[in-house]
Amino acid sequence: MYRLWVSAVKFKSNAGSPAIHTAIAHARMPFPPTSYRGRFAPSPTGPLHFGSLVAAFGSWLAARQAGGTWLVRIEDLDPPREVAGAAEAQLRTLTAFGLHPDGPVMRQSERHEAYLSALQRLLAAGDAFECHCSRSDLAGEDGIHRACLPGRHRPDPAIRLRVPDGSHITFDDAVHGRIEQDVSRDVGDFVLRRADGLWAYQLAVVVDDAAQGITDIVRGADLLDSTPRQILLQRLLGLPTPRYLHLPLVVDGDDRKLSKSLAALPLDDDDPLPALRAAWATLGQARDVLDGSTCIDTLLARAMTTFDAGRIPRAPVDILAAAHNTPVASRD
């Protein structure tokens, strides 16, 4: 779905900012003025697992080392997939692990008017359209929509972005280098609002990142392929494009993403240190840096001041079930 070139592009945080050596774990403390704003945005489909922790910890580390702001957004746009109480449980886990956001938690379920406003702008400009095609209609084109089939009509059409031919998007990822994708050929006209009336992830994430002033997106590599679509939407809506850093995907022994795997055991809120050490190693960092850290405050302070994003691996990381209690092995 995308072509990837390994290049010499590497992430460099604002290492020149004064290091903060005390009370690092308590992120509600004031930070120096900075242009860096990052976020962690879980979906409440269950408790946080180890892969979620890697994304949360990696984004927190990048923001903290830059002296920046770190926010949390609950992406609760898909009620059929949500688990009751999962969002609150996820927030409790972040607190137990010392990862405190610097502002109120945003919830996408409270943002419908913002998404509707963006959709109406796209429709008015002719950049979006009603689509009456079903998935089976598009099966012969590998699910890629380039033109509506004639004669189709449904009472609940989806709304798609009209992706012009030759919509070629390139960007530099801080870990993976230059990424290039022809959105028109590889993705096609993608959904903004589903036929069931629910908002699509691509529109919501773009609108919310702009609303929160996010300058740097640090997240899992499973979303690398979505980034060109989001950049295209940002351009059409006149929104800024953040910098991107995609972390290695954590997979089980069968190369399945943890959220799709039986290995996705919930994190232990009562014993966060083993999981934080394992996440640190998954991010390619030197294990011995955290030796002797017997409390969360000490571990996070050491991690923040020594974090080197240039060490983050590109390849997925294999991890056994309950990996937060066992050593992590990287295939990079």
What's the confidence (pLDDT) of residue 31? 33
| Distance, CA of 193 to CA of 182 (rounded, Å) | 22
| Distance, CA of 221 to CA of 209 (rounded, Å) | 18
| Domain boundaries defined on the chain | 24-107+212-229+239-330
Taking residue 270's Cβ as centre, other Cβ atoms within 10 Å add up to: 6
Strands (E), 45-197: 69-74, 106-107, 128-131, 158-161, 168-173, 177-182, 191-193
What's the confidence (pLDDT) of residue 133? 83
Tell me, yes or no, if the pTM score tops 0.85: no
| Distance, CA of 74 to CA of 43 (rounded, Å) | 6
Beta strand pairing call for 191-193 and 158-161? antiparallel
Distances (CA, A) of 29 to 22, 102, 166, 205: 10, 8, 47, 27
Tokens of 308: 């080197």
Give phi and psi for 79, each to the nearest 5: -50, -40
pLDDT tens-digit map of 231-253: 999 999 999 999 999 999 987 65
Q: Which of the following CATH numbers is that of domain 24-107+212-229+239-330: 3.40.50.620, 3.40.50.720, 2.60.40.3080, 3.40.640.10?
A: 3.40.50.620
Tokens of 111: 């943002």
Tokens of 189: 């006209």
What's the confidence (pLDDT) of residue 139? 66
Q: What is the CA radius of gyration of the chain?
A: 20
What's the confidence (pLDDT) of residue 153? 78
List, for the chain, all residue ranges whose pLDDT scores fall below the cut of 50: 1-33, 260-263, 320-332
The total number of residues shown for the chain amounts to 332
| Distance, CA of 254 to CA of 152 (rounded, Å) | 41
Q: Tell me if residue 181 falls in helix, strand or coil.
A: strand
What's the confidence (pLDDT) of residue 29? 30
pLDDT tens-digit map of 189-228: 999 999 999 999 999 999 999 999 999 999 999 999 999 9
Q: Tell me if residue 3 falls in helix, strand or coil.
A: strand
DSSP characters over 299-325: HHHHHHHH--GGG--SS-EE--TTGGG
Exposure string for 160-176, b = 16+ CB within 10 A, e = fewer: bbbbeeebebebebbbb
What's the confidence (pLDDT) of residue 135? 74
Laid out side by side, the sheet with 158-161 consists of 128-131, 158-161, 191-193
